[in-house]
Structure 1
Amino acid sequence: MSTLPAEVRTPVLTHIAKAEAARAKELAAGMATGAKVALTARIDARAAQAARQMGLANFMKLPEAGKQRAEAKAALLALWRRWLQASNLPKTRGTELFCHEYNAGRIEVPAWVRETRPHVSPNSLDNWSKELSTEGLARLAGRAGHHRKGCGIIDTTPGLKDFVLGVLVEYPHVSAKVIMRGIKARFDASLHPSYRTLQRFLATWKEGNEQVFTAVINPDAWRSRFQSAAGSASENIVRLNQRWETDSTKGDLILADGQRHIIVGVIDVFSRRLKLHVSRTSSSAAVCSTLRRAMLDWGVPEVLVTDNGSDYVSHHVLRVVDALEIDHDLAPPFTPEHKPHIERVFGTFCRDLVELLPGYIGHSVADRKDIEARRSFAQRLMKQGGEPVEIRMMPEELQTFCDRWTDTVYAHDGHSGLNDRTPWEVAAAWTGPVQRIADERALDVLLAPAADGNGARTVTKKGIRLDNTYFNAAELGGLEGQDVTVLLDDADIGEVFVFDLDGNFVAKAVAPERTGISRTELAVARKAHQKEAVNAAKAELKAAAKRADTKNLVRDILMERGRAAGKVATLPRPATPYSTEAL
């Protein structure tokens, strides 16, 4: 090339350079295309791998039926690949033969696989293989239901889903038929779902949103069934009388006297000991009487848990809580979970009351209706504002039942919260200190004054008249005609507490017809006390008379009068001599 003349060499070199440049460009372009293809292949492979991993993760979310469908198809794919390798046949011919033999039942597979996929075709195997490779195991379960979740006409139509859920929340028991009528009235005909679609949507939504739906329509049921309850409400209770919970049943009882009544309860969380009190209302008097009985029998609690109702924050309760240094724990409004033990035991009592006293429940005529009445009885008894529950018992009869149930049934039943021990066993086994009330008079502040006159009454020869009943006690003998103060214990309608006007305790008077005490024996005892009191008073008066020497009182009076008379001087009066022959 160097021997050529310059005018020839230059064009040749230019041509060669252009040819080399073109060749290099073509080579570079080919290399770029190959790199691009390789990169695309790697991206597709990674995407497929990610899809398979996601499909495997989604597999765990499938229902059991979907899992079984996917696993059956995967098992057939693995069996199909081994068949092709072992047969050495072309893929098409080998696949056709595999399907023929399988459908004829000549290929052994687990029974559940054949039950799930009794027949198979070449197209199915090919499609399953592609789906498993690109979308993972979950895809083999099929598309059933995938298109409905969030993609149906109710979900995608603006405002339709909100309307359906709004009606459902406002009227929880509304039927799909009624909602369908509302849809037809509010939405264009082209947007109406089918009736079956609406039914499926409601059923699916309620099943998937059970907790939220329950919380909206019935907060109490939500707290009972769903509210988080990690740990135990009594896990930190390690001492007798460490924590008491008290509350009243929310429902109304109409007893044989025609009056509404409620039941007040108090429970010691450590031992689960329980006291129940029947009262006409959930008044401060009823609460105080229940606490008085519990403190006299059990001792003084460290913490008393109540709600913030007026009956639980009365002056009576607060005075005792402050004086005895009891920590008063007020539950926030609408939080029954703050005192779960008394809430739960009320349910136990109501169910037992139903089972043990079926004859006392009203509204039952035949056996079937009896069962229905008993089933709803406990629910209505615990439901505030519900229909009153009727029991053909007098208040004192129900109170007797409550006392017997707490002392002989509940106290001796094993409790899961006590490791199957009974409340009686736990209380009896306690060897630690118990702060007890030594002087019953200390709890007299929990008593309520008798109606009208702030408890003022006059003792008559028949006793103390209250509520058309005479209350009597031996200690009243000798107090006839005197004024006293009468205080009541709401827990016992047969007793009253009598105090003198200075506040000193006099006696516990009873109504014989309410307590079963013999009126004759009570009258004899009072008469004897009266005689003793009167005789003592007479003796004291006689002693006072003796000390005063009253027998010589007349003499002393005359002497005093004489001495007084001698101190009085009169002026001399003019006089004339008087004389006779005899003189």
Structure 2
Amino acid sequence: MKDWLTAREIAAEQLPDMPASESAVIRLAGRSEWDGSALARKRPGRGGATEYHLSLFPVLAQVAYQQKHIVIELPVKPAKAAPDAGLTARAQLERDARLAIVAVFERFSRTLKLGYATRVQVFTDKYNAGSLNIEPWAREIIPNLSKRSLARWQSQKRDGKVNALAHDPAQARKGTGILETANDGAVSAFMLALLGHQPHLSGHHVRTMCRSEFGDTVKVVSKGVETEIPMPPVRTFQHALKGLKEKHKVELLKLTNPDRYRSHMAPAGVGMLRHVTDPNQLWQIDASPVDALCIDGRHAVYACIDIATRRTVWLLSRTPRASAVALLIRKAILEWGVPDVVKTDNGSDFVAKDTQRLFASLGIEAETSDAYSPEQKGHVERVIKTFQHDMATLLPGFVGHSVTDRKAIESRKSFAQRLGEDDASVFGVTLTGPQLQDHVDEWASVVYQHRPHAGLKNATPFATALASTKPVRKVDERALDLLLMPVAGSDGQRIVTKLGIRIDGHHYMTPAILPGTAVFVRQDPNDAGRAYAFAQDGAEFLGDAICPELSGIHPETLVRAAKEMRNELVEEKTRDLKADMKRIAKGVPLIERALEVARRDAPNVIPLPKRDHVHSTPQISAAIEALGERLNPSQPLDPAAAAAHRRLIDEMKAEDEQQLFADTDALIRRRQAEIEAHRTAHLPKNANVVALPETSRERYRRAVSFRKKLDTNTLPAADAVWLGGYEQTAEFRAQQGMHEDFGDAYLS
């Protein structure tokens, strides 16, 4: 629709309230001063006639003109809707129709000098009356238009909520079907479980299973009332199954076809290894059967890819085995250097002890991906696919990439066999395994490494590796070959005996290794009579092991030489030992050394006297009586002798008491002297010294000495007053009880 018209075009429209001739329109423009306004312009191009904007026309003329020329259709560039994968096709059509109507209304009312309510009223009336040019699809979706709906749509568009304009009546009823709500959703859940268990069940099968599970009726809620209805017909089940498959397609695919789910719907990261920027920082290894036959059968191809540079190394093997992995690692290390990390899957050839031992010996960190998670080593998976589709397709003996291709080729093979043709003629097999290996190596070095790679920003693997400045860790080829040698038995562990090392029923003599030594043994594949013995961790070479039977050496000659070497070895190892033994023999006897150590370890503790009581038996009493007759005769002493005996006992008691008092006073004086000596030695002069507090035992000793002096009337009055008060305390009674239990030894 044109917004600018000349006088001739205006007259040709025959609009109401407007002149019907060109001259009359020109005179109207002159009277209304249209020419001097900003809404009049010279027409570009030839002629130079004046054009007038639509907004200069009377309202009725504007409405009539727009009614005639405006068209409600989907815009060429529809308003961009917020992404919403949940919108159905019907909902998107509903949204687009409403957006188109809003856009037309805004254009319709742009030039009308009327209020908003009037413009809405005029537009809705014209729309409902069918006076506007409306495309059939829009009229079918929105047959009638109300003022409130138009205003609401404008508001939603203005707020950017254009997807809120979408509406699908079928979606509004979604989840309210009979089978979806029957038995509180139990029927729908059971049907979904049936699809997960057997996705090929038909509607008839599912209905039969539901009748077996729930009976011939189901419970539904209609207008808030629960009722029982007969089991719906098969057609209803077919529609319900279609909806379940659409709604739960991801879950069902995960349960029924895990491989397809993993390749099409499982989360996959892009650029997850962009932090790997240095060559040999990370390698990935995997294997796959080659999609081509050789004369000596079908081979498996092992691929190793350096993540940072995308270089590849390939190795063919008849069967997957740990030795093939070792040879691939050897080939890659000799060409690129030693890697930091090698990532593999959980295949038996990758997690074998020999493979893990090789990684440990070379100082390579081995990582394994989770089971059934090929996406964790996607780079090597992708390069194997590139090899199969880029090179294997060109090989003679190609057997196809998929099961479908292989079935077709097998059918052709079966038909050819009926005609008497062999496999070589059917498939064109002409290559042997070594020839195929040569072709693969040349393809990797000539084609693949010079091909631009998107992951390298379109650089080639060759150029990327060449640009790296990281030092390459190299390994001596001979040492690498030795590390690749097979181990003895399953784990290579052996114990050296006087006969040497036993391997496969043969004894290998080890004169340089003492008996009883645990060793790790590798066998020389080129010399059956030689083996190499290392420390158990493989980090130290201990010596050669020679089998005279297999090496062609006379056993007597080898045994004689081994004895001489063993004697020299033992003599060297025992020379210092013998000297130490002589020094020990001439020194202090061992018993004296032991007793001296025991004396140092003995605790420096004096035990307190134990509480005791007299133990007696009839026999003990009789023995005491026999001895007492000699010490205490049964005949009584005369009075004079008895008096002398009592005096002697009294004198002995007095001497003991005086000695006890003297010891107590000496102890107090000694303690005071020790305190004074400590103060003199450690404290400055004129320092205030606080005496250590007197212990309860020392106070009790003082009280005992004061009691003796009191009995002899030699105790000062002040000390007598202290003694009287102290004897009333609980401390005195406790100390007195201990004195009675342990005797005078307690006071010492």
Question: Quick one: higher RCO (CA 8 Å, sep 6+), 1 or 2?
Answer: 1
Inter-CA distance 356–157: structure 2 relative to 1 (3 Å threshold): farther
Which of 116, 127, 130 aligns to 2:138? It is 116
- Letter matched to residue 458 of structure 2: D
Q: What is the CA-CA distance between 1:143 and the residue it aligns to? A: 4.9
Inter-CA distance 69–425: structure 2 relative to 1 (3 Å threshold): same
- Letter matched to residue 117 of structure 1: R
Question: Could you report, residue by residue, the CA deviation over 1:440-485 in whole angstroms, capped at 9, with x for unpaired residues?
Answer: 343333245899xx9xxxxxxxxxxxxxxxxxxxxxxxxxxxxxx8
Report the number of matched residues.
380
Which of 188, 203, 212 aligns to 2:216? It is 188
- Letter matched to residue 275 of structure 1: V
Contact 1:253/1:262 (8 A) holds in 2: no
Q: Following superposition of structure 1 onto structure 2, how do residues 15-164 of structure 1 map, counting pairs within 5 Å?
A: 62-63=87-88, 65-73=90-98, 79=105, 98=126, 101-102=129-130, 106-108=131-133, 115-117=137-139, 125=146, 141-158=166-183, 159-164=186-191
The equivalent of 2:437 in structure 1 is: 399
The equivalent of 1:525 in structure 2 is: none
Q: What is the CA-CA distance between 1:197 and the residue it aligns to? A: 4.5
The equivalent of 1:339 in structure 2 is: 377
Q: What is the CA-CA distance between 1:435 and the residue it aligns to? A: 0.8
Q: Following superposition of structure 1 onto structure 2, how do residues 219-298 of structure 1 map, counting pairs within 5 Å?
A: 219-230=258-269, 232-249=271-288, 255-256=293-294, 259=297, 261-298=299-336
Q: What is the CA-CA distance between 1:283 and the residue it aligns to? A: 1.0
Which of 344, 358, 367 aligns to 1:320? It is 358
- Letter matched to residue 167 of structure 1: L
Inter-CA distance 292–169: structure 2 relative to 1 (3 Å threshold): same
Structure 2 residue 478 is matched with structure 1 residue 440:
yes
Q: What is the CA-CA distance between 1:85 and the residue it aligns to? A: 7.2
Contact 1:255/1:395 (8 A) holds in 2: no
Inter-CA distance 148–362: structure 2 relative to 1 (3 Å threshold): same
Which of 198, 206, 229 aligns to 1:171? It is 198
Inter-CA distance 185–401: structure 2 relative to 1 (3 Å threshold): farther
SS at match of 1:339: helix
The equivalent of 1:217 in structure 2 is: 256
**Partner Cα separation in structure 2 for residue 242 and residue 96 of structure 1:** 70
SS at match of 1:146: helix
The equivalent of 1:409 in structure 2 is: 447
Inter-CA distance 374–354: structure 2 relative to 1 (3 Å threshold): farther
**Partner Cα separation in structure 1 for residue 317 and residue 141 of structure 2:** 74
Inter-CA distance 206–354: structure 2 relative to 1 (3 Å threshold): farther
SS at match of 1:242: coil
Inter-CA distance 446–197: structure 2 relative to 1 (3 Å threshold): farther
Q: What is the CA-CA distance between 1:176 and the residue it aligns to? A: 4.6
Contact 2:399/2:406 (8 A) holds in 1: no
SS at match of 1:417: helix
Q: What is the CA-CA distance between 1:257 and the residue it aligns to? A: 5.2
**Partner Cα separation in structure 1 for residue 454 and residue 238 of structure 2:** 42
SS at match of 1:425: helix
Q: What is the CA-CA distance between 1:156 and the residue it aligns to? A: 1.0
Contact 1:306/1:329 (8 A) holds in 2: yes
Contact 2:299/2:316 (8 A) holds in 1: yes
**Partner Cα separation in structure 1 for residue 460 and residue 317 of structure 2:** 28
Q: What is the CA-CA distance between 1:350 and the residue it aligns to? A: 2.3
Is the deviation greater in 192-201 or in 407-416?
Answer: 192-201
Contact 1:288/1:447 (8 A) holds in 2: no
Inter-CA distance 308–170: structure 2 relative to 1 (3 Å threshold): same
Q: What is the CA-CA distance between 1:288 and the residue it aligns to? A: 0.9
Inter-CA distance 153–428: structure 2 relative to 1 (3 Å threshold): same
Q: What is the CA-CA distance between 1:242 and the residue it aligns to? A: 0.9
- Letter matched to residue 450 of structure 2: H
- Letter matched to residue 154 of structure 1: L
What 5-or-longer segments of structure 1 have no aligned partner?
1-55, 377-389, 455-484, 488-497, 505-583
Inter-CA distance 407–194: structure 2 relative to 1 (3 Å threshold): farther
Inter-CA distance 350–253: structure 2 relative to 1 (3 Å threshold): closer
- Letter matched to residue 197 of structure 2: E
Inter-CA distance 362–118: structure 2 relative to 1 (3 Å threshold): closer
Contact 2:95/2:163 (8 A) holds in 1: yes
- Letter matched to residue 403 of structure 1: D
Q: What is the CA-CA distance between 1:406 and the residue it aligns to? A: 2.1
Q: What is the CA-CA distance between 1:86 and the residue it aligns to? A: 9.6
- Letter matched to residue 274 of structure 2: E
Inter-CA distance 182–375: structure 2 relative to 1 (3 Å threshold): farther
Aligned residues: CA RMSD: 4.8
SS at match of 1:117: helix
Q: What is the CA-CA distance between 1:300 and the residue it aligns to? A: 0.7
Inter-CA distance 163–442: structure 2 relative to 1 (3 Å threshold): same
- Letter matched to residue 171 of structure 1: Q
Question: Could you report, residue by residue, the CA deviation over 1:53-100 in whole angstroms, capped at 9, with x for unpaired residues?
Answer: xxx999995345424324535765895997997998998xx8996357
Inter-CA distance 270–100: structure 2 relative to 1 (3 Å threshold): closer
- Letter matched to residue 271 of structure 2: S
Contact 2:97/2:141 (8 A) holds in 1: no
**Partner Cα separation in structure 2 for residue 228 and residue 433 of structure 1:** 36
**Partner Cα separation in structure 2 for residue 363 and residue 348 of structure 1:** 11
- Letter matched to residue 153 of structure 1: I
Structure 2 residue 467 is matched with structure 1 residue 429:
yes
Contact 1:363/1:373 (8 A) holds in 2: no
**Partner Cα separation in structure 2 for residue 411 and residue 57 of structure 1:** 44
Contact 2:195/2:252 (8 A) holds in 1: no
**Partner Cα separation in structure 2 for residue 408 and residue 241 of structure 1:** 21
**Partner Cα separation in structure 2 for residue 191 and residue 400 of structure 1:** 73
SS at match of 2:267: coil
- Letter matched to residue 287 of structure 1: V
The structure with the largest alpha-carbon Rg is: 2
SS at match of 1:166: helix
The equivalent of 1:379 in structure 2 is: none
Contact 1:233/1:340 (8 A) holds in 2: no
Question: Could you report, residue by residue, the CA deviation over 1:195-221 in whole angstroms, capped at 9, with x for unpaired residues?
Answer: 555444444444443433332223343
TM-score by length of 1: 0.53
The equivalent of 1:352 in structure 2 is: 390
SS at match of 1:278: strand
Q: Following superposition of structure 1 onto structure 2, how do residues 360-375 of structure 1 map, counting pairs within 5 Å?
A: 360-361=398-399, 373=408
Which of 319, 339, 344 aligns to 1:301? It is 339
Question: Could you report, residue by residue, the CA deviation over 1:245-293 in whole angstroms, capped at 9, with x for unpaired residues?
Answer: 11222x6878455756422222111111112222222111111111111
The equivalent of 2:222 in structure 1 is: none
Contact 2:369/2:377 (8 A) holds in 1: yes
SS at match of 2:473: coil
